[in-house]
Amino acid sequence: MDAVNRETQKDLLRWFRGAPVRMPRSRPELFQLLALYTPHIGLAEFLRMIDFTGVTPIQVYQVVLGRPPESVAVALPHAEYDAREHFRGALLSKEFRQTIQTSFLRAFPEKGRDVFIHIPKCAGTDLILNLGHRSVPLPTMLAHENSTTSTEFLEIVGGLARAAISGDRLFAYGHMELGEFVEWVGIRPDDRIFTVLRDPMDQMISQANYVVGRIRQDPNGHDPDAAEYLRLLGLTKLPEGMIPEDFKDMTVKALLNPLIAEPNRTCFYLGRGSQTRYAPAMANLIIHNVEITTTQLYDRWLKDRWGIQESARHNRSESILPNAEARRLCGAVLADEIQEDQKLYDVVCWALRQSGAASVTGQDIARLLGPPLTETLPANTIPPLAELAGVRPAGAKILVAEDAEHVEMYLAPVSIDVPGQAEVETILSIDVMANTGVENYLLEGWGLPEESFTWTVAEHCTIRLPPLLGNGYFIFRMVVSPLVVEERLRFQALELTIDRELLGSCKLKVQSVIEVRLPPLPIQDDEPVTIVLHLPNAARPSEITNSDDRRLLGLAVHSMMVFRVGPGGG
């Protein structure tokens, strides 16, 4: 400020309206400065706010990139050295972007930290969208150059920095390895680390479905992820004229491709580097006292842990290849590939059952299992546990496909031969309509067969199946359409039982496929199998619409099928 402008005290104060900001001397000062960066300012104007007098290359390297220069040549300023341009280039560099999560966390050491290790296809996106607004979100995706433009990246970082200055906690999350995060950032005593696990086979099936679903959304591979998925399947774009059978075959191929449905991903993300083994992952859970839940307990955990009553379940995979069918086709192959993840999942599930809680920590698991856990870790084995596999919970969900498109997809066959594929034999396949002989299978609670379906006309309806003989297990399937009326009757509740044992339950709103694995029963050679449908929401159309139909209707059943799955089927 020259002498003319210093004649009064007010002149002195006015000068500070446009006073430059000192070049940061530390990482915390850098993010305090970036908090001033807003979309309407723009990068050029933002840089003009900073006083670069006397700034050296070393200062830019240390403040922005967090490291010294890589050589003497770049450490010494040359005659044309422009600190402003150097600072600009460092902010826009790939290196600054790739280390943004670590840099940000270190710049605010006084803030509390929540750390979510997001294992793919384990409800992670849903959890992030539920928790992300509660604290300052720091996703690993910010490091990816294709996630935002350089300008958007700086605008986002500026907004996060403004939020961090006044906020109490930082929320670091993403597809990151726990071991790598600890190495780069460290873990403090009050940091809260958590993760969600999923049945390993379900996880791989979901990933395969997600990949084909993304290709359907982006058939020409405009987005980098879709282009990569196409490449891994040997395609440049999605072929035209694809029918449901083709999509299911593609999903089987994706499921059997280890570069798409990667095996033992849980151990990879909870371990370190290429050690996709149970022992390093379990050791990390214990050492860093990670809180763990599973997708089965996820809703309860959201409520108990975070006070979230209901979730929208964001980013669900499209069910192109249903879980049950994928297991029947590929279960034997997949079981060999997921052994490490299965060990970890079984131990966690055992601990959750023992605790009765919605989550457990690594320290909880060590306490519950005691010395046998630490004694077996060096051998990468688990202590003897109660059998977990194959347990069908009472009241299991039996709704496997909804709406016409997914019903068609579900019923489409698969033509790919898979090594070790279980034998599937059709025991019964019948259209539940007039002139098909369906009356032989329908006992109490049914109307007269009509042109394309038969209505249930009672709250309890009985189906009699033929004797079910042979090795393996049996699957019962129905295609149904519920009686629903907008604002008056939004869904039909359904329960299936055999000998009063609950097989499963669901709520039906549109045309759907119901499928249930029948339990082993002491059936004699000539003894039929009786299944009861319970429909507490059955209603009379005459009472809820302008119809004259006074029958007590619940479901219009289109077809029934029974399959025998031979030994080896998932």
List, as one string, the DSSP characters of 234-292: T-SSPPTT--HHHHHHHHHHHHT-TTTS-TTHHHHHHS-TT--SHHHHHHHHHHTT-EE
AA identity, residue 17: R
Q: What are the Cα distances from residue 395, in Å, to 283, 399, 517, 522, 532?
A: 35, 12, 12, 21, 14
Report the pLDDT value the prediction gives residue 417, as an integer from 0 to 100: 84
- Measured CA to CA, the distance from residue 475 to residue 466 in angstroms comes to 13
Both tokens of residue 371? 């010395």
Using an 8 Å Cβ cutoff, are 454 and 443 in contact?
A: no
Whether the CB-CB separation of 60 and 87 falls below 8 Å is answered with: yes
What pLDDT was estimated at residue 332? 87
Backbone angles phi, psi at 197, to 5 degrees: -105, 160
d(CA 250, CA 233): 8
Q: What is the pLDDT of residues 269-319, one digit of tens each?
A: 999 877 789 999 999 999 999 999 999 999 999 999 999 987 766 556 678
CA-to-CA dists, residue 275 to 180, 265, 282, 380, angstroms = 12, 10, 12, 12
Q: What is the pLDDT of residue 4?
A: 46
Tokens of 541: 């159309």
What is the model's pLDDT at position 499?
85
The radius of gyration of the chain from alpha carbons, rounded to an integer in Å, stands at: 30
Q: What's the pLDDT at 17?
A: 65
Predicted confidence at residue 16, as pLDDT, reads: 60
3 state SS of 361: strand
CB-based contacts of 126: which residues, under 8 Å, 6+ apart?
311, 312, 313, 314, 315
3-class DSSP assignment, residue 296: coil
Distance CA 369, CA 423 (A): 39
- Domain residue ranges in the chain: 3-91, 200-379, 399-565
pLDDT score recorded for residue 323: 85
**What is the number of other CB atoms lying within 10 angstroms of the CB of residue 506?**
21
Give the architecture (CATH level 2) of 399-565.
Sandwich (2.60)
- The answer to whether the predicted template modeling score (pTM) of the entire model surpasses 0.95 is no
Residue 222 CB partners (closer than 8 Å, separation 6+): none
Query: Which stretches in the chain have pLDDT values below 70?
Result: 1-6, 11-18, 312-317, 386-396, 521-525, 568-570
pLDDT of residue 569: 59
- 540 backbone dihedrals φ, ψ, rounded to 5°: -95, 120
State whether the Cα torsion 79-84-85-88 is positive or negative.
positive
Do residues 302 and 311 touch, judged by C-beta distance below 8 A?
yes
Would you state the structure tokens that stand for residue 568, as one six-digit string? Answer: 């080896």
Burial 140-176 (b: 16+ CB within 10 A, else e): bebbeeeebeeeebbbbbbbbbbebeebeebbbbbeb
Amino acid identity at 334: L
Number of Cβ within 10 Å of residue 291's Cβ equals 19
Residue the block writes with tokens 């403004």: 162
Judging by DSSP bridges, how do beta strands 291-294 and 555-565 pair with one another?
Answer: unpaired
Q: How many C-beta atoms surround the C-beta of residue 273 within 10 A?
A: 11
CB 64 within 8 A of CB 107: no
Report which residue type is found at 123. Answer: A
pLDDT of res. 160: 96
Phi-psi region of 59 (alpha: psi -120 to 50; beta: other; left: phi over 0): alpha
DSSP class per residue in 310-339? ----TTPPP-SS-HHHHHHHHHHHHHHH-H
Helix (H) or strand (E) holding 165: helix 150-166
Amino acid at 192: R
DSSP 384-418: -----TT---TT-B-EEEEHHHHHHHHHS------
**CA neighbor of 266 nearest in space, from 286, 252, 284, 288:** 284
State how far Cα 90 lies from the chain centre.
Answer: 35
- Residues 6 or more apart in contact with residue 275 via CB below 8 angstroms: 267, 268
Confidence (pLDDT) at 416 = 87
pLDDT score recorded for residue 315: 53
3-class DSSP state for residue 425? strand
